[in-house]
Structure 1
Amino acid sequence: MNKRTLRVYGFLEDASGRLLIAFERFRGMPLVKFPGGGIQWGESHQAALCREFHEELGLNIAVGPCLFFNDFAVQSAIDPEVQVQSFFYGVRALDPLDALTTSEVREVPETEGERFVWVPAEEVLKIPFTFEIEQAASRAWAASKTPQ
């Protein structure tokens, strides 16, 4: 692996404590992940996450603390020469959430695109996230909800 890509994702909860999950088909590949994506050159994590949420959901957000990042090497499923490092932040919507287009269908679309699903907190760890990073991040999110 000669290159690295940095990615940012957001944990967005609604008033009921449900978490927003993306079911996406990207370049023919089925993905189950959190909303977010790649950091562009010169962009901060916060700016990238705000841009990604606006592009994907038309939603303005405030970025909170980083709740998880992978400190282990992960090879990109898209390009085997690339190592992926992802950062997961708590985010808060600045716009009304009722304007979001969401689905109840927990399946990846047949064609390119994504659908967003609100998942109850108690079901998040049962979601079949595509990659190890998202699986670990979902466990970190769940742990952040458990009283210490």
Structure 2
Amino acid sequence: MYLFNVRVYGILIDAQDRVLVSDERTQSVSFTKFPGGGLEYGEGLIDALKREFIEECNLEIEIVQHLYTTDFYEKSSFNNSQIISIYYLVKAIGPLEITLKDKPMDFDTLNTIEKEEVFRLIKCTELSSEYLTFKTDQVAWREYQKTRNLPNN
């Protein structure tokens, strides 16, 4: 049996033209990605993305537009499933009240057993797609850059 893993992510740009990214560490593996996560059974894409932003960022969001859906084969980095990722451009309904870090992977503890997550805002003109860990995030960011006529860093 082949398994599919449906993921949904939000690209949030603030008023200072900075994009929100998440640095995560789980099982001693660290990665940088956009906020979001897995679709739960019985859940729609929009509801899943709104849930993920509340869980991860304590932030209600509004969907602005669909940006990109995976159009190539991508195997999960964590199991044998095929990843299908959907990306939306989103905006915050309220203020972003989470702690923001300045440096990549600036985790608060040395605990490597449980998942840790921190957030950063990076100027859109300074975020290179290769800075993101996963290929699907990289492609989605390049798609966003095209919509804004930003240089592909």
Please give the TM-score of this superposition, normalised by the length of structure 2: 0.88
Counterpart CA distance in 1 for 2:106 and 2:142 is: 22
| SS of 1:124 mapped into structure 2 | coil
> Over aligned residue pairs, what C-alpha RMSD do you find?
1.6
Contact 1:10–1:35 at 8 Å: present in 2 too? yes
Counterpart CA distance in 2 for 1:53 and 1:133 is: 19
Identity, % of aligned pairs?
A: 34
Contact 1:30–1:108 at 8 Å: present in 2 too? no
More helix by share: 1
The reply to whether residue 104 of structure 1 matches residue 102 of structure 2 is yes
User: Which residue does 2:94 correspond to in 1?
Assistant: 95
| SS of 2:32 mapped into structure 1 | strand
User: Which residue does 1:30 correspond to in 2?
Assistant: 30
Within 5 Å, which residues of 2 pair with 1:1-148?
A: 2-79=2-79, 81-97=80-96, 99-107=97-105, 109=107, 110-111=110-111, 112-125=115-128, 128-146=131-149
List alignment gaps of at least 5 residues for structure 1.
none
The one-letter code sitting in structure 2 at the alignment partner of 1:11 is I
The one-letter code sitting in structure 1 at the alignment partner of 2:134 is F
Please give the TM-score of this superposition, normalised by the length of structure 1: 0.91
Contact 1:31–1:108 at 8 Å: present in 2 too? no
Cα deviation 1:106-144 (Å, max 9, x = unaligned): 226354311100000111126521111111111111111
Structure 1 moving runs of 4+ over 2 Å? 107-112
Counterpart CA distance in 1 for 2:48 and 2:61 is: 11
